[in-house]
Structure 1
């Protein structure tokens, strides 16, 4: 009876060791899978951040809407309203030019105009005046309500012709380095104190006055570089 017991004990010891080895093999395989996943995730994010960016598709780039030397027309309206939509009012149209070559700087591209503008009563009482400048391809209207209007053939900008600045005050100070005859018998120190007191009494609310701008210069800024977005800009 002793030998079978020994065999049984031997078999039991062998089974326990096999189970433990199988668990170790499964654990090692699981760690390998986790390591591979971590490497794949790291490689994905690294490729996103450090890989060179692909150049944009030329078909998706936008260039200038107007070609160099293309003839353009210009309209300049004067209005007391910041938003302008009165294209049919001929009295507001003060300047109109045709066949201006775009982005060609020469004598034919420079136009000048001098005019006398008679302001209204509202404008005389600190009102505002705006210049509405519009450009369009020759033959196309700038009015969005016109049936022949095309949004990609016209553009414009509004510019204020009035600047509001603080009203200048009369200078009541007296120079101590003026005429020597006037300075004889006077008290310079007392004079300075009196002037300072007078200035402190005159301090009050600042009054703003509307000043006319004597001229306006209209320039077209062109950009023929192909990029994600581009547009023609008017600077005044």
Structure 2
């Protein structure tokens, strides 16, 4: 079995002033087994709304919660925010948590199970497997996600069902040793390509819930990000071949 004393929860935030306190409440209220402590690392990617004020108000209201707050002076993208968060993590493992309400922190325990049992170094949470709740939204987004996962799998020789998922748990020392470059939504295919090449790496996948948002509700990823993901898949596959 693997021993975890602290889980670092990395939350990249951009214009999430309306919802950031809700996700922080959810994370705060998660009770992890084995006395695992939670370290919340928020990286505000130069939001133009009241995200900063909302986070500072929450920290003042909940001083007992272990929250570390960092901010970018220039909007650099989700990947860049994750780079900052990863560099600040001190837990043995870390999980990526979006600042919106699309993913349920109550499923951390499920994500950690293969790790705690000593089977996994990395766990992906799949929106496309299992019987968990899944909001019905965009057909072409689903097709796009599955195509990107298929293309990624072709080059990595993995059999993931959801490469683009937010929920990824990494052994911290492993992900800190990966030289990550992508600053925006190319993070997902890049990190997948690079961890897949680590000798002896053990990657697991479990089904998770997905409470997706519409664009009116604040969803940000679009078709341009899909093309960037294709570029990243090909770029890091070709880099491997060289």
TM-score when normalising by structure 2:
0.19
TM-score when normalising by structure 1:
0.19
Choose 1 or 2 for highest CA Rg. Answer: 1
Identify, as 1 or 2, the structure richer in strand.
1
The structure with higher relative contact order (CA 8 Å, sep 6+) is 2
